[in-house]
Structure 1
Amino acid sequence: MNQLHNFSVPDFHLPFGNAKHPQAARANEEATAWVAGHGLVTRALEQFSGIGCGHLAGRVSGEVPYERVLLLAEWMAWSFVLDDQHDHLIRNGELEAWRPVVGAITSYLDTGQADGAAEERNPLVNGFIDVCGRIVDGMSEACADRYRAHVRLVLRSLDQEAGNRRADARPTVEDYILLRRNSSQLLPMMDMVEAALGIDLPDRITGLPQFAEVVASTLDVISWGNDVFSLPKEYACGDTNNLVSRIASRDRISLRDAVGEVENLIQLRIEDYLKAKDRLFATLDAEPGTGPALRDEVARCVRTYEDWMIGTELWQRYECTRYNDERFAAGLEGAYTRPDLVSVA
């Protein structure tokens, strides 16, 4: 019996406002064209466009120039292809083809140089080099270093998720939560938004425990909510990299009851975020070296995190067809997925 028959996503009641960039739809069209132009998607473009990368980028970018919204949408589009392609290789037992891709991406992150001629490289690598090069060009050196480090964490988390899908390997709930903060792929995107807004906080601020808790709670709220939206697909294809599945297994409860548990955890995590935010500003106000300009920059940065929480919620619920597509809910690959995108050597 299907535990998720007539499944619906509960409301998460996020207490934040959100404004969407007026050219988000245009960004979605152009990001889809970018994906097609790089050969990352060659069919079912309408289905890929329905993911709504431009709409998501438009909800989380704040008041940035359109060019930066589009760049974020292109990065998001590449990230979705990355995630789907990795899933394809896992399903088909072809993960040996993943190593050269990761190697080429990591090499570019380390050196800023592309190995080999473009026509000899994989489209996934070529797309990465194109968009990554333009991303770091618009960042300070410190922000670019953070962005590169976060991309490396994303790649590592994909390997961890692949390992977790073995029958003999199931992460604990606690381990999964830590992994999800990276596999969500949010941190590099957050770096992009902060750079586009001219936010570049010093290490003494980002190193504060209170700041780290603001970031962690933000990542958890978004990731756990996404796990609920994506649960039907992941359950259908046997992917247990999902907080609902992990809690159901740990507590020996039904998936429906576990959804209720995750809903409660999200509400508690929102409260954690609000308390951490208050503690952060109390700490800043108690330090004599915190002037109005720095406090304002921290406030602008924190505001972007609230945009991310409510923006992703609205995008998933109203603008993204990915989570209610029949193929997705049945655990099938997207019709746009290219089986030959990464070939086995």
Structure 2
Amino acid sequence: MQRRAPGTAGGVCGRQAAERGLFVPAFPRSTTTSHTAIRVPPALSLPVIETGFPRQLHPYWPRLQDRTKAWLLRKRLMPADKIEAYADGLCYTDLMAGYYIGAPDEVLQAIADYSAWFFVWDDRHDRDVIHGRPAAWRRLRTRLHAALDSPRDHLHHQDPLVAGFADSVGRLYSFLGRGWNARFAGHFHDVIEAYDTEFRNRTSGVVPTVDEYLELRRLTFAHWIWIDLLEPSAELELPVAVRRNPAFLRAALLCQDFAAWYNDLCSLPKEMAGDEFHNLGISLIHHEGMRIEEAVRELRRRVEGCVTEFLGAEQEVLRYAARLDDGTVRGAETASAVRVCVRNMRNWFSSVYWFHHESGRYRVDSWDDRSTPPYVNNEAAGEK
């Protein structure tokens, strides 16, 4: 694999950005970027994000990109030819590097590897549905639960997806204390079970109602996981009272709801082509009798509402942080961590937005088969 020189914005995403007039540097002393002329389809365009949420990238990003690709290869999560052909263009590391600004390099690397694993897992789940592999899915589900509770025991599992999960989770567990680890594990056990619910829905032809879908989506999108990861990025496990503060909780959930619903808006053609039932737009069409154009408008209304509500919640969190800074060392540390967290909640809006317009994951019209992403492995790994 050809490596980029440190401090340069290389890779397919960087080249595509440059070609479109999008300047995405990864300067060692600056994470600010500017957008000038990227083409966003009108149905997906959100001017409030483009003008009010400047995009940032962690300065570690160029090395992050290369090291995550090397990790995917070392852990056999993607074949070498698919990594070479598609990994840069999928822009997985760009997404995380645009969110967890200020995280120590080793924390961001662990998060990026875990996030790349998550995308591969999502693709395996989809292929198990499409190819009718319920036994393979049940085995994987059981193995992931076990690896989450004892990652060291699964580092050399025969299924690369289980071994890669154990490696990434074990690294994430090393940054904070047992309380954070237990919380993260509990949240991801819920994610695995939500994926099982989705598997059963899809294999039995069940389209969830809008309310059912919204509840399930917070789990399949792993809202609580990405919120949990704000803390190692800020290098502090937040007190329970802070995590449960209404303004902090509202801001955190709004940035994740935005991400999940904007993903639904952008992936609607991909998921309709792949006989997927789990998309807010599909639930609106199926249960509310909307035409696709009406469903798109409703999705836009919801994602724009998240932005508006976040701006109010963000100010409340900043006022709360000022109250936490009570003159004590602990108060100052907690207030600083809260400010880092809310800044990164804000970053999620721009990072998710631009990711969806740069990543090859959503360019369904360019695939030879609209129901089969070219970057996936259709085999049920670990079954030999």
Query: TM-score if structure 2 supplies the norm length?
Result: 0.79
Deviation at residue 128 of structure 1 after TM alignment: 0.9
Q: Judging changes above 3 Å, is the alpha-carbon distance between structure 1 residues 22 and 215 closer, same or farther for their aligned structure 2 residues?
A: closer
**What secondary structure does 1:44 align onto?**
helix
Residue 128 (structure 1) aligned to one of 165, 170, 176: 165
Listed as ranges, the matches of 1:195-234 within 5 Å are 195-234=232-271
For the pair 1:246 / 2:280, whether they are aligned, the reply is no
2:349 aligns with 309
1:68 aligns with 107
Contact 1:232 1:330 in 2 (8 A): no
Q: Judging changes above 3 Å, is the alpha-carbon distance between structure 1 residues 168 and 238 closer, same or farther for their aligned structure 2 residues?
A: closer
For the pair 1:258 / 2:295, whether they are aligned, the reply is yes
For the pair 1:143 / 2:180, whether they are aligned, the reply is yes
For the pair 1:27 / 2:64, whether they are aligned, the reply is yes
Residue 82 (structure 2) aligned to one of 44, 47, 55: 44
Contact 2:243 2:249 in 1 (8 A): yes
Distance 1:28 1:333 in 2: 25
Deviation at residue 285 of structure 1 after TM alignment: 6.6
1:17 aligns with 54
1:335 aligns with 374
Distance 1:189 1:328 in 2: 30
Size of the alignment, in residue pairs? 336
Q: Judging changes above 3 Å, is the alpha-carbon distance between structure 1 residues 154 and 306 closer, same or farther for their aligned structure 2 residues?
A: same
Contact 2:151 2:169 in 1 (8 A): no
Distance 2:344 2:368 in 1: 31
- Which amino acid is the alignment partner of residue 356 of structure 2? Q
2:5 aligns with none
Q: Deviations over 1:260-300 (max 9, x none)?
A: 11111111122222233344556677789795543333222
Contact 2:96 2:111 in 1 (8 A): yes
1:174 aligns with 211
Deviation at residue 258 of structure 1 after TM alignment: 1.0
1:324 aligns with 363
Q: Judging changes above 3 Å, is the alpha-carbon distance between structure 1 residues 287 and 172 closer, same or farther for their aligned structure 2 residues?
A: same
- Which amino acid is the alignment partner of residue 44 of structure 1? K
Q: Judging changes above 3 Å, is the alpha-carbon distance between structure 1 residues 28 and 249 closer, same or farther for their aligned structure 2 residues?
A: same
RMSD: 2.6
Q: Judging changes above 3 Å, is the alpha-carbon distance between structure 1 residues 267 and 330 closer, same or farther for their aligned structure 2 residues?
A: farther
After superposing the two structures, state which structure 1 stretch, 326-335 or 151-160, moved more: 326-335
1:299 aligns with 339
Contact 1:57 1:69 in 2 (8 A): yes
Contact 1:18 1:310 in 2 (8 A): yes
Q: Judging changes above 3 Å, is the alpha-carbon distance between structure 1 residues 215 and 330 closer, same or farther for their aligned structure 2 residues?
A: farther
Q: Deviations over 1:71-117 (max 9, x none)?
A: 222111111110000000000110211222222221232234415x8
Distance 1:293 1:259 in 2: 43
Deviation at residue 122 of structure 1 after TM alignment: 0.8
After superposing the two structures, state which structure 1 stretch, 282-291 or 149-158, moved more: 282-291
**What secondary structure does 1:230 align onto?**
helix
- Which amino acid is the alignment partner of residue 56 of structure 2? A
Q: Judging changes above 3 Å, is the alpha-carbon distance between structure 1 residues 277 and 259 closer, same or farther for their aligned structure 2 residues?
A: same
Deviation at residue 62 of structure 1 after TM alignment: 0.6
Distance 1:329 1:210 in 2: 46
Deviation at residue 57 of structure 1 after TM alignment: 1.9
Q: Judging changes above 3 Å, is the alpha-carbon distance between structure 1 residues 263 and 200 closer, same or farther for their aligned structure 2 residues?
A: same
- Which amino acid is the alignment partner of residue 104 of structure 1? R
2:22 aligns with none
**What secondary structure does 1:60 align onto?**
coil
Q: Percent identity?
A: 24
2:119 aligns with 80
For structure 2, which runs of at least 5 residues remain unmatched after alignment?
1-40
- Which amino acid is the alignment partner of residue 113 of structure 2? E
For structure 1, which runs of at least 5 residues remain unmatched after alignment?
1-6
